[in-house]
Structure 1
Amino acid sequence: MPIVTFHKKGEVYRDEVKENTNLVVRAGIKQFPFPHLAYKCGMGKCATCKSRILAGGEHLPPPNWKEKKMLGDQLDAGYRLACQLWISHDLELMQD
């Protein structure tokens, strides 16, 4: 199972998640081991879940049209929308 390492507010949370997990979906149904994940719509329309990928980004699919529209040039700096990511490999991410 993939291990997600999540950085927020100077703290680090690390835990396993089921394969093909979406962090925002899991948070919404209270099956998510990490507190403080910022999210709102879950549909790629608000960018509240914007996260910077620190490691494991090479295993993610290319940004979709929603991420391109919401993040623009921030994609080049390693930002992605957590609500659009289905995790199948270890991933390390941070929310500012």
Structure 2
Amino acid sequence: MPIITFHKGGQVYRDEVKDNTNLVVRAGIKQFPYPHLRYECGMGKCSKCACRVLAGAQHLPPPNWKEKKQLGERLDAGYRLACQLWVQHDIELAQDETAAA
């Protein structure tokens, strides 16, 4: 089962999740990493859940059209939308304290 390492506000949160887990779905049902993950719509329209991938990016699928539209050049800096990712391998993410536009 994948291990999620999540950095936010100088803290590190770590948890094991079931294969093919979406972190925004888990946050919405009050499971890890709730309440630490910032998110809103869960559909790739708002980019509130944008996270920088620190490790494990090689196991993610290429960005979809929603991520390309919302993140633009931030994709090159390693950002992805957590709501669009279904985690199947270990991953390490960081979320800025304030939403990057």
For the aligned pair, the TM-score class normalised by the smaller chain equals over 0.9
Deviation for aligned residue 1:29: 1.1
Q: Any stretches of 5+ residues in structure 1 without a counterpart?
A: none
Whole-Å Cα distance in 2 between the matches of residues 13 and 64 of structure 1? 27
The two structures have a TM-score, normalised by structure 2, of 0.92
The two structures have a TM-score, normalised by structure 1, of 0.97
- Structure 2 counterparts to residues 44-59 of structure 1, below 5 A: 44-59=44-59
2:88 is equivalent to residue 88 of structure 1 = yes
How many percent identity over aligned positions?
Answer: 78
Q: 1:52-85 CA distances to partner (integer Å, 9 max, x unpaired)?
A: 0000000000000000000001000000000000
Q: What is the CA RMSD across the aligned residues, in angstroms? A: 0.9
Structure 1 runs (4+) greater than 3 angstroms displaced: none
Give the number of equivalent residue pairs: 96
Whole-Å Cα distance in 1 between the matches of residues 76 and 33 of structure 2? 28
2:72 is equivalent to residue 72 of structure 1 = yes
CA contact (8 A) 2:44 2:81 kept: yes
